[in-house]
Amino acid sequence: MSDQFKAPKGTYDVVAPFSATWLAVKSALTTPPMMSGYDYIETPLFEDTALFVRGVGESTDVVNKEMYTFEDRGGRSLTLRPEGTAGVLRAVLENRLDKGALPVKVWYTGPNFRYEQPQSGRYRQHTQVGVETVGSSDPAIDAEVIWMAIYAQRNILGLTGVRLLVNSLGCHNCRPQYRATLTEFLSGLNLDETTRQRAVINPLRVLDDKRPDVQEQLSSAPLMPDHLCGDCRSHHASVLRYLDILGVQYENAPRLVRGLDYYVKTTFECVHDGLGAQSAIGGGGRYDGLIETLGGDALPGIGFGLGVDRTCLAVQAEGLTLPDAMQVAAFLVPLGEQAQTVVVGLAQQLRSAGIACDMAFDSRSMKAAMKGADRSGAKFALIIGDDEVAGNEVVVKNMGSGEQTSVPLELVISTLQSQI
């Protein structure tokens, strides 16, 4: 029908069978923070617009071009969150978590909204799994955060094509000087007007320009790692040393800059080369100074956001099969009214015993019900007809081998438990 509604431009539905991959990816990405002492946090989908303007930064594309901002009926300017960090830090301060034991370590997951030009891997609603830490400037926490970001991708999901890029962007002491040096270098290049303007607002972003003619001119550009102050240099060296100790493979990426304004010192990105232009499947870094900007004490912080959508694309690009948490172990087939009564009770008993199962509804014929059993992917079909009801039995069919055995009703659970 032509007048059916469609998902808004740049959004999509997560439906089966893809939804199993989606859940498996989310579960994998959330495992390392859950194993590392991070508390779960949930914040509203919308916040005061000013929070993002101040927190994410006025010179960013995210704030300038991509925010979903609206006025509510009370005349407040609100914005759908374009990223997680600003809202989480607002919540940390509002709930005075920063006044308790430090560092505060939290993880979160949920959708973010950016009015971007949609393309493969770039959507107007995307989902992240993220962590934020507040109150530690120990390079060991940088290493923990980076390790968590890459461990899930490489070791839990089994992605082999992810590269970890690491850089230091310097701090509020050394970056201004580097920025001036870079600005001077850029002023001597043959750049178009838009790039020139970008160089004035945020010269570091120009380093990220992917066009070959610009890249060629940038080959001798001054790079941040060569202009770090002593403190930043030793912090960066310690982070890299910890990554070596953890056996994390990384690449030094002196040209890596991030799209949000708040980063200082350690920055990193996980990129997957099988994804085309939108290759960053996650990124993060330190944001010492941001908490102060948001009205808190001068506490350091570091975190990451991993893109669930793009990680799913990477999983598909590598042809990986992930465990399906919705996969049922048994599919129950009632043949007749009396059998249906038994099956309804048995299904509930199996589920209570921790055996996931589904059943055929609507008095399906044996053939149709067995098709359902097949589609469910269950290892066993449990078939109950009049004879089985009379004999208090169940026919257990192994869907792989086709082998069938009659099992007394009261032994079905233990039989399945021993064979799953």
Q: Which stretch binds ligand HAM (CB under 6 A): 151-159, 190-198, 206-214, 299-307?
A: 299-307
Contact 391, 366 (CB under 8 A): no
Query: Can residue 205 be called a binding residue for ligand HAM (CB under 6 A)?
Result: no
Cβ-closest residue to ligand HAM?
A: 307
Q: Is 305 one of the binding residues for ligand HAM (CB under 6 A)?
A: yes
281 or 335: CB nearest ligand HAM: 281
Establish if 85 lies at the interface with ligand HAM (CB under 6 A).
yes
| CA 390 and chain centroid, separation | 52
Give how far Cα 196 sits from Cα of 64, 191, 193, 397, Å: 18, 6, 5, 71
Q: At closest approach, how far in Å is the CB of 335 from ligand HAM?
A: 48
Would you say 279 and 273 are in contact if contact means Cβ atoms under 8 Å apart?
yes
Cβ atoms of residues 284 and 128 within 8 Å:
no
Q: Which of 225, 259, 377, 385 binds ligand HAM (CB under 6 A)?
A: 259
* Pick 128 or 340: Cβ nearer ligand HAM: 128
Site for ligand HAM in 101-130 (CB under 6 A): 114, 116, 121-123, 126, 128, 130
Q: β-pairing, 280-286 with 393-398?
A: unpaired
- Should residue 266 be labelled a site residue for ligand HAM when binding is judged by CB under 6 A? no
| Helix, strand, or coil (residue 397) | strand
Toward ligand HAM, which CB reaches closer, 281 or 412?
Answer: 281
For ligand HAM, which is the closer residue by CB, 11 or 183?
A: 11
Cβ closest to ligand HAM, residue 41 vs residue 260: 260
Q: Does 132 bind ligand HAM (CB under 6 A)?
A: yes
| Amino acid identity at 285 | G
Find the part of the chain contacting ligand HAM (CB under 6 A) among 228-236, 302-310, 371-379, 401-409: 302-310
Q: What backbone phi and psi angles, to 5 degrees, belong to 125?
A: -125, 125
Residue 60 lies near ligand HAM (rule: CB under 6 A): no
CA 265, 269, 273 angle in degrees (round to 5)? 155
Which DSSP string corresponds to 77-121? EEEE-SSSHHHHHHHHHHTTGGGSSSSEEEEEEEEEE-----BTT
Among 32, 55, 57, 84, binds ligand HAM (CB under 6 A): 84
C-alpha distances in Å from residue 345, one per residue of 152, 252, 341, 352: 39, 60, 7, 11
Positions in the binding site for ligand HAM (CB under 6 A): 83-85, 114, 116, 121-123, 126, 128, 130, 132, 259-260, 280-285, 303-305, 307, 309-310
